[in-house]
Amino acid sequence: MHNPLLKKLASVDRLTEAEEQAAMALCHDVHAIARRKDIVSEGSSPDCIHIILDGWAVRYNVLPDGSRRITAFLLPGDFCDIHATVLKIMDHGIIALTDCKVAFVPPEQIDRIAGSTPSLARAFWRSTLIDEAILRRWLVKGGRGDAFEAVGHLLGELYVRARLVGLTSDHSLEMPLTQEEIGDATGLTPVHVNRVLKRLREAGLATVKGGTLRINDINALRRESGFDPNYLHLSVYDSRP
């Protein structure tokens, strides 16, 4: 099972063979999206649902002053815009951080699943609710709390989420984020992100170096940055590689 969508869904709910087949069938129309290309643009009305199969992307808004706010990181297995069928106009954009492979799924196909494979539909529903829980958690951690916790928490979350889809090995993860992007997600300036990363490194919690995140001590990270992965509603969040 090397399909990240299946891995993601398996982490969220138990699926039957038939459901796995149905999920797999969503990934037929795969497009390559180049780094820094919008997958979905703000203000558009996408005619397809998009699923990341490879690479990293973000949900973002551009503020009036030109700065950018990242509201979600999208990893392989994640839906970009399953809501677009109901809410026609995108109130945010989605952009590829790296070269990506993205499945384009006609909304009718999702509707059909809702009718024919209700428990798969429930897994989709579950996964969007978890996205919402993540959003709430960002609000809780980010909101004026200190930068050290915000960044530590973000790294912990990304590590756990990446592990679900098999992107980690030996306590580390290929993480193609610049400090500016981490800043856009945490509401910090790149300069300050740099200082915080230095502190995290010196505290022996996590090391970001050369596009690789290494979690030196996940338990310490949980303790020091108040990172408790419960909100991800997963059954598996032990400290496996």
Per CB under 8 A, residues contacting a copy of itself are 59, 61, 63-64, 69, 71, 83, 86-87, 89, 91-92, 122, 125-126, 129-133, 135-136, 138-140, 142-145, 186-188, 226, 230-231, 233
Give the residue with the Cβ less far from DNA, 116 or 178: 178
Distance CA 220, CA 207 (A): 13
Beta carbons within 8 Å of 33's beta carbon, 6+ residues apart: 39, 55, 96, 99, 100, 101, 102
Give the residue with the Cβ less far from a copy of itself, 84 or 175: 84
CB of 101 to DNA, least distance (A): 19
Out of a copy of itself, DNA, none, which partner does residue 180 contact, by CB within 5 to 8 A per kind? DNA
193 neighbors 182 (Cβ within 8 angstroms):
yes
Give the residue with the Cβ less far from a copy of itself, 114 or 203: 114
Angle at 236 between CA 104 and CA 125, to 5 degrees: 40
CB of 241 to a copy of itself, least distance (A): 26
Beta carbons within 8 Å of 75's beta carbon, 6+ residues apart: 4, 52, 56, 158, 161, 162, 165, 167
CB of 153 to DNA, least distance (A): 12
Distance CA 220, CA 215 (A): 10
Out of DNA, a copy of itself, none, which partner does residue 214 contact, by CB within 5 to 8 A per kind? none
